[in-house]
Structure 1
């Protein structure tokens, strides 16, 4: 990345929400990121699944400013929650330590399949009911 490129705090996310293997329409998803280098809270992003259970979030980025010149280990805590029929599910929790895009899954884009009947568990370095597709 160049010195003036944007810092990627949370890469693009695409996914599908299922219940018993069937698409869930109308589930609310909330995406949050807590960044160690930001004094201000980053507002959560929200979306709702369509009739096929699909959802998407654009990348959360910030201007690089002087952070590209200062050697430091970035730390971002990423979370995606799903709310459906009065129940909240932990879909994704991940600690990101790079400002580059798609480092969450070692260079692969984040494409998730979230099964509401699954118990949250670890898959690689992330935790939740969503599995990387």
Structure 2
């Protein structure tokens, strides 16, 4: 990667929200990444599930600037919360240690099934109610 290439803070995410195996339309999803002390660099995105319960977030990227010149291990905290019928569900929590795309799942794209009746738990390196498809 070049000195001024983009840093991927959260790779693209696609998924489906279910409740008791049925699609959930209109659930709100909140995606957040914490990467530095500057709140302007910590974007929060919102989306809602469609009639089929599906949602998508594009990748969150930042310009590299001089960070590419300083050798360091990044620490990026990623979360996705689902809000539905007055309840918040921890869907995804992950600590990303690379600026490359799709490193959350060792090179695979992030495609999730989020079952609201499931108890949050660890699956690999991430935590929440969502499972990788």
Q: TM-score range by the shorter chain?
A: over 0.9
Secondary structure, aligned partner of 2:112: strand
- C-alpha offsets along residues 18-72 of structure 1, whole Å, 9 cap, x if unaligned? 0011100000000000004x52342310000000000000111000000011000
Shift of 1:4: 1.9
Give TM-score, length-normalised by structure 1: 0.96
In structure 2, the partner of 1:84 is 84
In structure 2, the partner of 1:112 is 112
- C-alpha offsets along residues 77-126 of structure 1, whole Å, 9 cap, x if unaligned? 00000000000000000000100000000000000000000000000000
Give TM-score, length-normalised by structure 2: 0.96
Is residue 63 of structure 1 aligned with residue 33 of structure 2? no
RMSD value over aligned CA atoms?
0.9
In structure 2, the partner of 1:40 is 39
Aligned length: 132
Determine the C-alpha separation between the residues in 1 that align with 2:118 and 2:88. Answer: 13
Instruction: Give unpaired runs (5+ residues) of structure 1.
Output: none
Determine the C-alpha separation between the residues in 1 that align with 2:46 and 2:33. Answer: 12
Determine the C-alpha separation between the residues in 1 that align with 2:3 and 2:132. Answer: 30
